[in-house]
């Protein structure tokens, strides 16, 4: 049964998947900084850092909106196949189950979106 409005669900799910994307970007950034296989790391780390900064700024805005609406998202359980999250808004609760490959697709989509936003803003220090 759906207890949340579409806008409440959209806000909570964007926050949830954006938070996951930030974790992926931070892990990738750490891998690039440690990686010995990469000859020129700077362009990649600049891109990832810009993406991370944009994502964190957006997540802060989402947190403000969520606080105003008293919306919280909490992970309940995770199995190999599904992850369950509880959305609570103004005393109304709704549990959503996500197929893990679907989560991966949504996070990848957000990463592509952040990459698309970040690329035009990165300037080469070599020009």
- pLDDT (tens digit per residue) in 54-94: 999 999 999 999 999 999 999 999 999 999 999 999 889 99
Segments forming the whole domain that contains residue 27? 6-120
Q: What is the dihedral of CA 51, 52, 53, 57, to 10 degrees?
A: 100
What is the C-alpha to C-alpha distance for residues 28 and 25, in angstroms, rounded to an integer?
5
Unique residue bearing structure tokens 């998202």: 73
| Total domains present in the chain | 1
Asked, for residue 24, whether it belongs to a domain, the answer is: yes
Helix axes 6-34, 42-69, angle to 10 degrees: 150
Asked, for residue 1, whether it belongs to a domain, the answer is: no
Q: How many CB atoms lie within 10 A of CB 76?
A: 11
Asked, for residue 126, whether it belongs to a domain, the answer is: no
Whole-model pTM?
0.90
């Amino acid at each position: 049964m759906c207890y949340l409005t579409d806008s409440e669900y959209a806000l909570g799910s964007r926050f949830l998947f954006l938070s996951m994307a930030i974790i992926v970007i931070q892990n990738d950034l750490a891998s690039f900084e440690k990686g010995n296989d990469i000859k020129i790391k700077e362009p990649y780390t600049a891109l990832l850092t810009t993406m991370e900064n944009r994502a964190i700024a957006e997540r802060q805005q989402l947190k403000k909106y969520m606080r105003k609406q008293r919306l919280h998202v909490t992970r309940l359980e995770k199995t190999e196949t599904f992850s369950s999250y509880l959305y609570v808004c103004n005393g109304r609760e709704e549990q959503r189950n996500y197929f893990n490959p679907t989560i991966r697709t949504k996070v990848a989509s957000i990463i592509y979106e952040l990459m698309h936003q970040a690329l035009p803003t990165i300037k080469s220090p070599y020009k």
